[in-house]
Chains A and B, each alone.
Chain A
Amino acid sequence: MIYSEYLFPNDMHIYWSLMIVTYPFITGLIAGAFIASALFHVFGLEELKPISRFALMVSLAFMVCATLPLLFHLGHPERALNVVITPHWHSAMAGFGFIYSFYLVVLTLEIWLSYWEEIVAYSKTSASGVKRLFWKTVALGVDETSGEIRQANRRAIYILGLIGIPSACTLHGYVGFIFGSLKSNPWWSTPLMPQVFLLSAIVSGLALLIVMYIALSSKGYLTWSFECLRTLCFYLWLSMLFYMISEGLEILFFFYESSDAWFVISTLLSTKLWVSFVLIQVGIGIVVPFTLLSIMIFVRNNQGAYTTMAVIAAATALFEVWMMRWNIVIGGQQFSKSYVGFRSYHPEWLDQEGILTTMGLTLLPFLLLYLLTRILPMKEAVEDEEPPAEVEPG
């Protein structure tokens, strides 16, 4: 049967707007940063030391802002906390508050312990009394930085990193689950969705770190290490590879099963998403960074060329993930539940959920990160070795 175009009368509106595109994008940026830190703290990847603490701060800055797009989106933001106060456990969305809070606590504790020496030092040396009191409170009144404490902290950071990895996977997989578990929407309804969200989150987070690392180390804010960049780029390549496989499998299954879902998806891909998905997301966002990153594996000595390629690859990968969020969230609403009618979405500039708000909310974590770096240093701890043991007089 061939249908003429028809939308259900209530399907004229797109409810999940730019804010719901921004929310998983910002949330995703947390992951890569956290994973990079975990690679150092848990798996002992020493090459990532120059960025290990900064990565945690990036995570925190984005984490704090992750829920803001949701508040802008909700019809009743004043009732937002009801999701955690009176949650409905059957809802995938109800778990958000708990998963988010748990992850935030783990992250904050890890930062607290990572900066222990600085915190104690500030509690002693800060010029004003208020500042000293603040840092003393943060240090819980403890002013020790002995080898024993440092070792205990290191162990705690290791454990927190261990807990953090499944927490990160849960948070990002969970965002994918929100979409993937809706049987009403063929473009979303696939068990691969949590995996796609998790992998794309790692891609975006690593890509952001690469761009920031290159920019900040060129100005001397972070310690430059070519090996650090190489390692970050290798993990970006690896996560992109798995991400591409997952996305590709998703489309391949829809195509091969050729069910009712493919009827609507193929039409979507050839009409509404032809430019944004096929040309921009895949054609530019996946092909360009993945090709560059693959070439970069073989570039060993030319640091200048490598760094330039890294910037281009990371920037396009970031763009790809934003486009992926757009194509999933908006694309999934561009057809009616009749499956034979399509609609367009044109965000407003000044709308509550419009373009300016999106830009502001995307830039806000960077502002917060700047403020955080005014309080705590970006660079890795200078002295990371055990204090020399006192030599017994012979």
Chain B
Amino acid sequence: MDKKKNRRAFIKSAGRALAGLLMVVAIPKPGRAQRIHEIEIGEDAPDWLDHYWVYLIDTTKCIGCGACVRADKRENSVPPKFFRTWVERYQITEDNHVHVDSPNGGHDGFLPEDLAQLLTSVELETDGSPQGIGRVKKQGRVTKGFFVPKMCNHCRNTPCTQVCPVNASYQSPDGVVLVDKTRCIGCSYCVQACPYGSRYIHPEKHTADKCTWCYHRITKGLLPACVTVCPTGARKFGDLKDQSSEIKKLLSTQRLNVLKPELNTEPFCFYIGLEQSVR
């Protein structure tokens, strides 16, 4: 009996000790996260709660030079045939045919001779069917032409972060949608969920990749590479929490639109002069 009692007592106390140990290990103590922050990032690191970033594109100013696409490729080592940002050229004829193209994502700009040819007479690949996709060629004079830079919209109601099964895609407190490449399992669910075609699977890293608004630059007080090189100021970037910023003024005074508003993704990349035909 004594032996049995001793064994029971031992098991009980051992169990308590194990449970206690587990609690000590598993539950983070207050201040622990902060200490890690200080050690790894340093006390001078910018506080991400000080900012709330937003992007604005003025389509009326874009000249389709492709400098932004080239800068982005260089800055972020974007692999060939994939794009974190790209520029589309829209040409609409008098009979409401919409011709869109983005050769190499607009990386090399749009050739002027093409443009001249298109401005006079254009051959469009449409078939006259209700859906308008086919092979019958039509001609028409282009009456409206413009460029539309595109990128990740850093939505507030993000379909991409919602579907990530491991939380590798997330939104930072300062409003940037990012991908943790060390956690991403490469399932491509986010690529499928993004309605804007902004994401791709990196062909070498096998993880999801997308525009980060050059997070490594903006956290150092710099502008995203694409904004820096834009020669006409079509791309604007700034901090909503900075009351005196240009972007704050523009957002509160301009008529704005977003891409695919019907999907309720709440993009934080706004557009000025966005034509209704833009997809």
Contact = CB atoms under 8 A, between A and B. Distances in A.
Interface of A: 1-6, 8-13, 15-16, 70, 73-77, 79-80, 82-83, 86-88, 90-94, 96, 178, 182-185, 263, 266-267, 270-271, 333, 336-340, 342
Nearest to B191: A15
A182 B102 CA distance: 26
Contact of B82 (A10, A86, A87, A267): A10
Contacts of B197: 8-11, 336-338
Nearest to A14: B188
Nearest to B167: A88
Interface of B: 81-83, 86, 88, 92, 96-102, 104-105, 124-126, 128, 130-133, 150, 159, 161-167, 183-189, 191-201, 205-207, 263, 277, 279
A3 B275 CA distance: 14
A2 B277 CA distance: 10
A10 B200 contact: yes
Contacts of B164: 88, 91
A254 to B, nearest CB: 13
Contacts, number: 158
20 contacts: A1-B277, A3-B126, A4-B100, A4-B132, A6-B102, A9-B102, A10-B199, A13-B201, A16-B192, A74-B186, A75-B186, A79-B184, A91-B164, A94-B166, A182-B192, A184-B195, A185-B192, A271-B133, A337-B195, A337-B196
Contacts of A73: 187
B131 A266 contact: yes
Q: Interface residues of B: mostly helix, strand, loop or mixed?
A: loop
A17 to B, nearest CB: 9
B69 to A, nearest CB: 9
Contacts of A88: 164-167
Contact of B163 (A86, A92, A336, A337): A92
Nearest to B138: A2
B110 to A, nearest CB: 14
Nearest to A262: B131
A249 to B, nearest CB: 22
Nearest to A70: B187
A4 B125 contact: yes
A75 B162 contact: no
Contact of B185 (A76, A266, A337): A76
Contacts of B98: 1-4
Given A75-B201, A88-B166, 20 more contacts: A1-B277, A2-B96, A2-B128, A4-B100, A5-B125, A6-B101, A6-B102, A10-B197, A10-B200, A11-B197, A15-B188, A75-B188, A75-B207, A83-B165, A91-B162, A91-B164, A93-B165, A184-B194, A267-B133, A338-B279
